[in-house]
Copies of this chain bind each other. A is one copy, B any other.
């Protein structure tokens, strides 16, 4: 990977902050902080060990802390909130939009939330409560309620006047405004009027002629992941959120969706290793140890089941020690092949590309692939074993067991995530563990079993 000027620069400011903090050079830290964007401070915080992190946090201005909290995730965010005093937090939260507040909501202590509500004016409180009413991880939780809306029968000139008034009244327009929503007199959503059309069409054009009617509105209860896919597929910058009756409730902008997309991919990756999505690299050792121990425990059960299977063939191993030498090869190859299938199928399910109709096709395809690769590698491993132990029968059994286990991997890798999805269990979390349990057991049992029957 190439190190660019930009990367260099990023690494530099983090390393410089780290050094200044270690040396207790508060003056330097304070001056560096002045030149950084909240997102950069958030990055620096995430890359710092636990103790230095709280040092940096206490040097940061309260007015920046709101934006910084938004840019941090999971454990780091909770640690920073816990390390802040209440008055500071209330100041910090006051700098945020209400939909951003709603993102932080779950991580705020009740006392801070109450103090914050008391400092809000009535309008802001109403908007905040309106968003909080919708569950997190739905379109309702993502949306902003201060959507600008216009009627379809007015001209663009009127729209321009309305937007200037709105800005005069509110002090600013909603963030990331690329379009305004068009509604009828019942507040029913009709379409989107892009600002690029407002500025470039004849001012006498009516909204109904200038608007784009085909842009879909998102029902308020739509899951966040579906919203993300819709934004991605349709190249949207923003979209209207509507009630079941089609009334305009708010507006989702792409910056909210980007966080969802990042979270989704990260979830899959981290789940595979039994880690939480926003695992903090520098969380206190005790809390990390607990969570990782759980995952090791689950895998230990697997490993002991496999050991028990091997134990069934103890006598055979005593008589032919080559069995003990070669058996991990069979198990591991099945695991690797199965993992390829599992990764593909889990990804397909997450992207909603696997349904009843093509699942059968997929399974047959994976079985064919497993057979092909199994036969090829069976010849290779059998040859190695025959050469190594000078035993043709052993080599053949080794090869056959390998084919059996690659097939097991292909079938288990396809069927396990499909079944887990059907049962409402996250395939990214549980799929890998179950797969390895299957391929280990079948790998050891097929090789040792065949050998016991045929060689002894």
Residues of A within 8 A of B (CB): 1-2, 4-7, 10-11, 14-15, 18-19, 37, 39-40, 42-43, 46-49, 71, 159-160, 163-164, 166-167, 173, 176-178, 195-196, 198-202, 219, 221-223, 226, 230-235, 237, 254-255, 258, 261-262, 265-266, 268-270, 272-275, 279, 281-282, 285, 288-289, 292-293, 295-297, 299-300, 302-304, 306-307, 310-311, 314-315, 317-318, 321-329, 331-333, 336-337, 339-340, 342-345, 347-348, 352-358, 361-362, 365, 368-369, 372-373, 376-377, 380-381, 384, 406, 421, 424, 426, 436, 440, 444
List B contacts of A167 (CB < 8 A).
200-201
> Which residue from chain B places its CB closest to the CB of A374 in the assembled complex?
B296
Q: Are B377 and A297 in contact (CB under 8 A)?
A: yes
CB of A168 to closest CB in B, whole Å: 8
Complex CA gap A376/B289 in Å reads 10
Are the CB atoms of A15 and B356 closer together than 8 Å? yes
Please indicate the chain B residues that have their CB under 8 angstroms from the CB of A331 in the complex.
328
The answer on a CB contact under 8 Å between B195 and A196 is yes
Q: Which 9 pairs from chain A and chain B are nearest by CB?
A: A265-B265, A39-B233, A324-B324, A167-B200, A273-B343, A195-B195, A303-B329, A177-B196, A235-B255
* A178 CB to nearest chain B CB (Å): 4
A200-B303 contact, Cβ under 8 Å, with A262-B261, A328-B310, A336-B296: no
- Residue contact B292 to A348, C-beta cutoff 8 Å: no
Complex Cα distance A262/B292, Å? 28
Check A222/B4 contact, CB under 8 A, given A234-B37, A310-B324, A365-B285: yes
| Residues on B with beta carbons closer than 8 Å to the beta carbon of A47 | 348, 353-355, 358
Residues of chain B with a CB closer than 8 A to A221's CB: 4
A352-B7 contact in complex given A300-B381, A333-B300, C-beta closer than 8 Å = yes
Shortest CB–CB separation between residue A325 and chain B, in angstroms?
Answer: 5
A15 partner residues in chain B, CB cutoff 8 A: 355-357
Within 8 Å CB of A160, what residues of B? 199
Q: Decide if A226 touches B6 in the complex (CB within 8 Å).
A: yes
- Quick one: closest B residue to A173, CB to CB? B196
